[in-house]
Amino acid sequence: TAKMKVIELGTISVPDAQSLTITPYDQSIIGDIRRDIEAANVGLTPVIDNNVIRIAVPALTAERRMEYVKMLHVKLEDGRVKVRQTRHELMTEVKRQFEDGSLPEDDRRHTEDELQKITDSMMEEIEKIGKAKEAELLVV
């Protein structure tokens, strides 16, 4: 089970809004899956019931909601950084092509403008998704 996702190890079902069940493909690792879920420290308590792991999902407390909002902000910033890194790499490639003569000045400017428009659009989308998810997390 080292470095594998739960979805790779079994079938995950959602019988109702407050519970999950995991049916491992290989029953010999059922204890490992339970132990790893507990070790993940995400506030879930898995229970083995026959050949199924049952997990009761507790209602979110205000404190836990705020923790999720903080995690959301970290993930959003990671997304922004990746978009900026990609833009930087592409701008560097455009500059290299311009300097070696394979890209005319007009095309360079046009490509840089398009890259910036795409970057701005992606940043707006990240912001929009982030605000929607934050509002969803804060609804009691």
Assign residue 17 the CATH number of its domain. Answer: 3.30.1360.40
In a domain, 1, yes or no: no
46 lies in the same domain as 90: no
CB 21 within 8 A of CB 53: yes
49 lies in the same domain as 97: no
Number of domains into which the chain is organized: 2
Look up residue 139 and give its two tokens.
């609804």
Boundaries of domain holding 10? 6-56
pTM above 0.75, yes or no: no
51 lies in the same domain as 86: no
pLDDT digits (tens, 9 = 90+) for 35-49: 998 888 888 889 999
77 lies in the same domain as 113: yes
pLDDT digits (tens, 9 = 90+) for 46-79: 999 999 999 998 888 899 899 999 999 999 999 9
46 lies in the same domain as 31: yes
pLDDT surpasses 60 at 1 = no
Parallel, antiparallel, or unpaired: how do β-strands 52-56 and 19-24 relate? antiparallel
The percent of residues in the chain predicted with pLDDT above 70, rounded, is 99
pLDDT surpasses 80 at 140 = no
What pLDDT shows up at residue 2?
A: 62
Q: Which residues are CB-neighbours of 54 under 8 A, at least 6 positions away?
A: 19, 20, 21, 46, 47, 48
